[in-house]
C-alpha cells in the first residue's frame, strides 16, 4: 500500500545499488527531482531503463551511478547529443556503460508485457535492422496460425519504477494527464513504484471516467515534489524549460564544467531545492 | 510568385512540404520533418493529419515543438494516447501513410544509420540510436527522408543499419515480408531523389535552383545516378516562405519564454 | 474518410451477406439500432463476432441472419439464457449456428492484435480448460527467452465493425466515454467501421486530452441515431432499461412470441423508430 | 446480535462476505458474488477494492448492478479502463487477490463448467460459456466459488471443464505451471467447503445453522468429505442482514426505475 514519504526516504528505502531502475516520462513529467536524489544518495551499478534517456540520465551516467543502460533513443531532444552518455560509451568515463538497445516500439511493448504478467512481447519490428545483431534480447517467433515471423522481446520488469505525476489524492490514487507516455505500464511492470507528484489533494479531480489513474495499491511511495519534473514539464502546472535543455549542451560537453554544475546544483542541494537553471 | 532570398534549408523544407497531400496521415519526427509537415498543413495540405510518437493524434501545433512531446502537441491534438498504443494501433496497425526519417548516414538504397559511427562495440561517435525509426521504416505506407546533402551522410555503406530501406535493392523488402513501399523520396538541401522503380537505387529527380550536377556529385559518397528526366525544383513561393518564417519566428519566441 | 449517412444507407452499403461482422459494446453502448437495421435488411450467413452476445445477437440469430458466432459469453446479463441462441445451438432453429468459442481475455486480445496489425495475440490463459479441445483457434507457443508456454489466438479482423458512441463532431471524430469496452479495438481491427452516435455536434467536448476518440479517418460511416443503444445505455444520455432485459426472457423463450415481437417492433419499424419496450 | 429470520441465500452471501478482507482486491462477478463483495465493503471490509470485468476499478456501487457494466459501476469507480487492459494489466498482471466464480457444475476438485450440459457438439443445455472465468481461475491469487448446493451442480464429473480448479487434485495446478492458489473456498447455502491441503479434494469445514450433514450429503453428487473439525457457521448478525437487505431494496428500486 502507498506510503506518503519524503523524497530522501523514498529513494533510501526503495532504490538499492545494483538494481534495475526505470525512470519514465516521455518528454513530459520526467522525474528529475527523484533522479537528483538518487545521485545525491550515490547509488552505484544501477541498470537504468528508459526509452529516451534525457538530461537526468545523462547526469546519472556522468556521476557514475549506472553500469548498464536499457534504452531506445539517447539524445537531448531538439538539441543534440547527450554528452555524458557519449563519454561513457565512447571513452568509458567515469566508468564503462554497457548498452541494451531497443527500438521505441519494442521498449513500449516490453513494458506492457511486464505490466501484463507476460514473459515476452511480440511486434512487427526490427525487420532488416542491425539491432538484431547487437541485442541478444531480440528474438523471432513464428505465428502458429499464419506462419509469419514477428519479433519478440523479453518483458521489462524493473526492480523499481520512478515516475512523476500531476497529483495524488490522500488515499494514494495518482492522476496522470496529457502525454502519458509509458508511465502506467512502467509502474505496473515494476516490483516497486515511487511516484513524485506536483501536489497531494483531497479530490483527484480526474477530468474523465477514463482518465489515466494509478490506484493506490499499485504505488509504494508517494512524494509531494512540486516542480519535480523541471526542466521537463507538468501539463497544467508549468511548461518545458527549453532554455535549460539548450544550455545543458555546453555544460555537458566538458567533464569539469559538468562536475562543477552538479556540485553546485545537485550535490550541494537537498531534495527540497531543485536546480532552476542550466 | 517565387523568391530568391531563401536558404538551402528553407528550400529543403518547402520541397518536403510539397510532397505531402491533404489526405496523408504522417508520423512526424522532430526538427526538419516537423517544420515540413506543419508547413504543408498551413499551406497546400490543410487537411493533413499529423501524429507524433509521443501519442498525440491529429495535432495542429501553433509553434514547432523542440521535443517530440511538447505540451503544445497535446493541447492541439484531438486525442493523446499512451506511447504503446501509438506504436501498436496506429503505426503497426498500418494507419500511417507517410513516415519521416532523418539520417546520420544513408546509403544508395536508403538504409539509414542513426546508431553509431564506427564499430558498434567501440564507437567513434555514439549517435542517439533508433527511437521509433526501425518500425516507422517497416510500417508506414511510404517513407520520406530529409537530410543535409554531404558525403559523410550519403555514404557508400552505412556503419550500422538502424532502419531498413531497400536493403540490397530490388525486391529485398518484399523478400523480408515487408508489405510497405519503404523510402520513396529523399529531400536534401540540394535536390530530390527517388529510388529507381526496379533497382531501388537512388537517382536525382529534381535539382534545386542554383545547384549543379557537380555539386550533388561532390556531396554524395557514391557515384550518384540522375534520372532520365531531371526537373528543376520550383523555388519557394512567397507564401511558402512567409508561412515558414512566421512559423519559425513564433517558435523562437515561444521557446525563449518559459513559465 | 467518414461519410455522414442514414442508418439504412450505412448498412446497405457496408454490410453484405456472408461477411464477418462485429457489433461491440460491453453492456454499455450496444448498437441495437444498427442491429435492427441488419435484421430488416435481411442479411444472411453472417459470422457474428461479439464478446458478450446480448439481446441484439439473440434477435439476429433468431431471425436467421447468422451462420457462425464468435463469442466468449452468451447470456442475458443478470437474467439468464439467450433463448434464441440456445434454440439455434440446441435445436438448429431457425438454422444451425456454428460456434467459435473463446474466453473474454482471448477475445479482447484478439481484437487488440487485429488493431495492431499482428497476426496473433498471446495471453496466459486457457490453462486446463477444455475450450482448447473444441476451438482449433487456440494454440500454444513457447516464450523464446524463458521457455514458458502461453496461449495464442489469431487476430480478429472483422469485415465490418459496428459500434455506438456518445457523439461525433462534424469532422467525423467520435468520442466514447464511460465503460469503453473493446469498441476502439474493434473499429481499428475491422476493414470497415460504422459508428452510430447519440448526436453530431460542433465541438466534440472531450473531457480530457486522453479521452477515447476515434479519429475521422478510422471510421467509414457515421449515423446519427439518438437512442440507438436502447435498451442498453449511453453514459450521459440515458440509463440501461433493465426491465427490457427482464421482459425479454419470456418473449424469447417462445418461437412464436419472438417472431410476433420482432414483426411488431423491428420488421414493421424503420430505422427512425426504435423498439421502446419489451 | 444474531438473527433467525434469514434465508439460505442470505446466509450464503453473508458467509462469502465474511471471507473477504480489508486489503483484498476482488474481481467481482455479477449476481451472488457482487452482493457478497459489496456487503463486505459495507460491513467488515470497507477498504476492499472491487473490480468488474467491464473495466471499472475500485468501484463502490450504491446499488447492485444487474449487468457487469451498469453505469453505476463506472460512476463510482476511480477509473474505467478498456476491457483488454482490465484482462491484461489487472487480471493477468497478478494484481487481483480474490476472484469469484459461479458454476453450473462443479466437481470435488473445483473444476467448473459454465459451458454446456451434455456433449459440446450436441448439447442438452447450452450454457452462457466462459466469459472471463478461465483466466480468472488461472490468474487471481485465490478463487472463491459461490453456488447453490444441489446434486446437479455438485457432480462427480463435470461435462466440460470451462475453468480449471485443481484438476485431478494434488499438485496438478503447479504441474501445469500455474503459480496461483486456485479455488480455496466454496460457499453454498448449506455450508462452507475448502480443498484439503494435500489432495485438494473439497471437504466441508463449516455448516450453516439448521443444516445437517445428511442434508449436505444428499445435495452433493459424490461422497462428500467432512474436515476433522467442522465449525458451526455463525448466523448472520443483525447488522449484516440489515445492510444486505437495504442493498437489495435500493437495488430493486433502482432497477425498476428507468429514464
DSSP letters, C105-170, are HHHHHHHHHHHTT-SEEEES--TT-THHHH-TT-EEEE-TTT--EEEEEEPP--SEEEEEEEEEET
pLDDT at position D117, please? 98
**Whether pLDDT at D2 is above 70:** no
CATH architecture of A3-101+157-267: 3-Layer(aba) Sandwich (3.40)
Backbone angles phi, psi at A50, to 5 degrees: -175, 135
A275 vs A186, A230, B222, CA distance in Å? 26, 8, 48
Give the nearest chain A residue to B176 (CA atoms): A127
Mean pLDDT of C172-192: 98
Give the nearest chain D residue to C183 (CA atoms): D82
The pLDDT tens digits for B132-146 are 999 999 999 999 999
Please, which residues have CB within 8 angstroms of residue B153's CB and are 6 or more apart in sequence?
A: B103, B104, B105, B106, B147, B221
The pLDDT tens digits for A177-211 are 999 999 999 999 999 999 999 999 999 999 999 99
D66, D164, D255: residue with CB nearest C77: D66
Give the nearest chain D residue to A207 (CA atoms): D79
Q: What is the mean pLDDT of chain B?
A: 95
Q: Which three cell numbers stand for residue D154?
A: 455438485
**Using CA atoms, how far apart are residues A161 and A49, in angstroms rounded to an integer?**
9
A103, A148, A182: residue with CB nearest B84: A182
Please, which residues have CB within 8 angstroms of residue A92's CB and are 6 or more apart in sequence?
A: none
- Contact between D243 and D62 (Cβ < 8 Å): no
Dihedral of alpha carbons A240, B58, C190, C104, sign: positive
pLDDT band at C272 (very low <50, low <70, confident <90, very high): low
**Whether pLDDT at A43 is above 50:** yes
Instruction: Parse chain C into domains and list their residue ranges.
Output: 3-101+157-267, 104-154
pLDDT at position C189, please? 98
pLDDT at position B232, please? 98
Contact D84 C77 (CB under 8 A): no
Percent of chain A with pLDDT strictly greater than 70: 97
Q: Is D23 on the interface with A (CB under 8 A)?
A: yes
What number of C-beta contacts closer than 8 Å exist between C and D? 190
Q: Which residues of A touch D83 (CB under 8 A)?
A: none
Q: Which of residues 232-251 of D touch C (CB under 8 A)?
A: none
Give the nearest chain C residue to B82 (CA atoms): C210
Q: Which residues of C touch A143 (CB under 8 A)?
A: 119-120, 152
The phi-psi region of residue D110 (left if phi > 0; otherwise alpha if psi is between -120 and 50; otherwise beta) is left
Q: Is B59 on the interface with C (CB under 8 A)?
A: no
Residue among C187, C188, C193, C214 with most chain B CBs within 10 A, to mutate: C188
pLDDT at position D259, please? 38
* Interface residues from chain A to D (CB-CB < 8 Å): 1, 112, 115-118, 173, 184-185, 188, 204, 206, 209-213, 215, 217-218
What number of C-beta contacts closer than 8 Å exist between A and C? 81
**Whether pLDDT at A17 is above 50:** yes
Q: Is D51 on the interface with C (CB under 8 A)?
A: no
Contact D88 A215 (CB under 8 A): no
Q: Is B134 on the interface with A (CB under 8 A)?
A: yes
The pLDDT tens digits for A269-278 are 876 666 766 6
Contact C212 B75 (CB under 8 A): no
**Using CA atoms, how far apart are residues D133 and D137, in angstroms rounded to an integer?**
6
pLDDT at position A273, please? 66
Contact B93 C213 (CB under 8 A): no
- Contact between C129 and D116 (Cβ < 8 Å): no
Catalytic residue among B10, B53, B135, B201: B53
**Whether pLDDT at B194 is above 50:** yes
Percent of chain D with pLDDT strictly greater than 90: 91
Buried b (16+ CB within 10 A) or exposed e, D77-92: bbbbbbbbbbbbbbbb
Of A2-16, C5-19, D79-93, D243-257, the least confident:
D243-257
Q: What is the mean pLDDT of chain D?
A: 95
Residue among A110, A117, A206, A208 with most chain D CBs within 10 A, to mutate: A117
**Whether pLDDT at C277 is above 70:** no
The pLDDT tens digits for D145-203 are 999 999 999 999 999 999 999 999 999 999 999 999 999 999 999 999 999 999 999 99
Contact C210 A180 (CB under 8 A): yes
Contact A117 D94 (CB under 8 A): yes
CA distance B67 to chain A (A): 5
pLDDT at position D70, please? 87
Contact A104 B87 (CB under 8 A): yes
Mean pLDDT of B24-29: 94
D231: number of CA atoms within 13 Å, CB side? 9
CA distance B144 to chain A (A): 18
The pLDDT tens digits for D59-101 are 999 999 888 888 999 999 999 999 999 999 999 999 999 999 9
Q: Which fold has domain D3-258?
A: Glutaconate Coenzyme A-transferase (3.40.1080)
The pLDDT tens digits for C25-34 are 999 999 999 9
Percent of chain D with pLDDT strictly greater than 70: 98
Mean pLDDT of D136-142: 98
Q: Is C236 on the interface with A (CB under 8 A)?
A: no
What global pTM score does this model have?
0.97
Helix (H, G, I), strand (E, B) or coil at A241: coil
Q: Is B57 on the interface with C (CB under 8 A)?
A: yes
Provide the strand spans (E) within B53-173: 56-57, 79-80, 98-101, 105-106, 112-113, 116-117, 125-126, 142-146
**Whether pLDDT at D258 is above 60:** no
Please, which residues have CB within 8 angstroms of residue A158's CB and are 6 or more apart in sequence?
A: A19, A20, A21, A22, A49, A114, A186, A189, A190, A191
pLDDT at position B67, please? 85
Q: What is the mean pLDDT of chain A?
A: 96
Contact B130 A102 (CB under 8 A): yes
What number of C-beta contacts closer than 8 Å exist between B and C? 48
pLDDT at position D257, please? 61
The pLDDT tens digits for A105-121 are 999 999 999 999 999 99
A119, A146, A207: residue with CB nearest C207: A207
pLDDT at position B212, please? 98
Taking 3-state DSSP, the helix, strand and coil percentages for chain C, each rounded to the nearest 5, stand at 30, 25, 45
pLDDT at position B259, please? 38
Residue B75 is among the residues annotated as catalytic for this protein: no
Q: Which residues of A touch C178 (CB under 8 A)?
A: 209-210
pLDDT at position D4, please? 78
The pLDDT tens digits for C32-74 are 999 999 999 999 999 999 999 999 999 999 999 999 999 999 9
Q: What is the mean pLDDT of chain C?
A: 96
Amino acid at each position: 500500500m502507498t506510503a506518503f514519504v519524503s523524497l530522501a526516504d523514498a529513494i533510501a528505502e526503495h532504490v538499492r545499488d545494483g538494481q534495475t531502475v526505470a525512470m519514465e516520462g516521455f518528454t513530459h513529467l520526467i522525474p528529475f527531482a527523484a533522479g537528483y536524489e538518487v545521485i545525491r544518495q550515490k547509488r552505484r551499478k544501477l541498470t537504468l531503463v528508459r526509452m529516451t534517456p534525457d538530461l537526468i540520465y545523462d547526469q546519472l551516467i556522468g556521476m557514475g551511478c549506472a553500469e548498464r543502460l536499457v534504452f531506445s533513443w539517447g539524445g537531448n531532444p531538439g538539441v543534440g547529443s547527450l554528452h555524458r552518455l557519449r563519454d561513457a560509451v565512447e571513452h568509458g568515463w567515469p566508468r564503462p556503460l554497457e548498452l541494451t538497445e531497443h527500438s521505441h516500439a519494442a521498449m513500449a511493448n516490453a513494458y506492457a508485457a511486464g505490466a501484463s504478467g507476460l514473459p515476452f512481447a511480440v511486434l512487427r519490428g526490427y525487420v532488416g535492422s542491425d539491432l538484431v545483431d547487437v541485442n541478444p534480447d531480440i528474438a523471432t517467433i513464428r505465428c502458429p496460425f499464419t506462419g509469419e515471423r514477428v519479433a519478440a522481446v523479453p518483458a521489462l520488469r524493473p526492480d523499481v519504477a520512478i515516475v512523476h505525476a500531476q497529483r495524488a489524492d490522500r488515499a494514494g490514487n495518482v492522476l496522470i494527464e496529457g502525454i502519458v507516455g509509458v508511465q502506467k505500464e512502467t509502474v505496473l511492470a515494476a516490483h516497486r513504484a515511487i511516484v513524485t507528484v506536483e501536489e497531494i489533494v483531497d479530490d483527484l479531480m480526474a477530468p474523465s471516467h477514463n482518465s489515466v489513474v494509478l490506484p493506490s495499491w499499485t504505488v509504494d511511495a508517494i512524494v509531494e515534489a512540486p516542480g519535480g519534473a523541471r526542466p521537463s514539464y507538468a501539463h497544467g502546472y508549468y511548461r518545458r524549460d527549453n532554455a535549460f535543455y539548450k544550455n545543458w549542451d555546453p555544460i555537458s560537453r566538458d567533464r569539469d564544467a559538468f562536475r562543477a554544475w552538479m556540485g553546485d546544483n545537485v550535490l550541494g542541494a537537498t531534495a527540497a531545492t531543485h536546480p532552476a537553471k542550466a | 510568385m517565387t523568391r530568391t532570398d531563401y536558404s538551402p534549408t528553407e528550400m529543403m523544407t518547402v520541397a518536403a512540404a510539397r510532397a505531402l497531400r491533404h489526405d496523408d496521415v504522417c508520423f512526424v519526427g522532430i526538427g526538419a520533418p516537423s517544420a515540413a509537415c506543419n508547413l504543408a498543413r498551413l499551406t497546400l495540405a490543410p487537411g493533413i493529419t499529423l501524429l507524433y510518437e509521443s501519442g498525440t493524434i491529429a495535432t495542429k501545433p501553433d509553434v514547432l515543438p523542440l521535443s517530440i512531446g511538447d505540451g503544445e502537441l497535446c493541447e492541439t491534438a484531438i486525442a493523446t494516447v499512451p506511447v504503446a498504443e501509438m506504436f501498436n494501433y496506429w503505426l503497426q496497425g498500418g494507419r500511417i501513410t507517410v513516415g519521416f526519417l532523418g539520417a546520420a548516414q544513408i546509403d544508395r538504397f536508403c538504409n539509414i544509420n542513426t546508431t553509431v559511427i564506427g564499430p558498434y562495440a567501440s564507437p567513434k561517435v555514439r549517435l542517439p540510436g533508433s527511437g521509433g525509426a526501425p518500425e516507422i521504416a517497416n510500417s508506414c505506407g511510404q517513407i520520406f527522408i530529409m537530410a543535409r546533402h554531404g558525403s559523410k551522410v550519403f555514404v557508400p555503406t552505412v556503419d550500422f543499419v538502424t532502419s531498413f530501406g531497400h536493403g540490397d535493392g530490388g525486391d529485398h523488402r518484399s523478400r523480408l515480408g515487408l508489405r510497405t513501399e519503404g523510402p520513396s523520396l529523399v529531400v536534401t538541401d540540394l535536390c530530390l531523389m527517388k529510388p529507381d522503380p526496379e533497382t531501388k537505387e537512388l537517382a536525382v529527380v529534381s535539382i534545386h535552383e542554383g545547384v549543379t550536377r557537380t555539386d550533388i556529385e561532390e556531396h554524395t559518397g557514391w557515384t550518384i545516378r540522375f534520372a532520365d528526366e531531371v526537373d528543376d525544383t520550383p523555388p519557394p513561393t512567397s507564401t511558402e516562405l512567409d508561412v515558414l518564417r512566421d512559423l519559425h519566428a513564433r517558435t523562437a519566441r515561444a521557446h525563449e519564454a518559459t513559465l
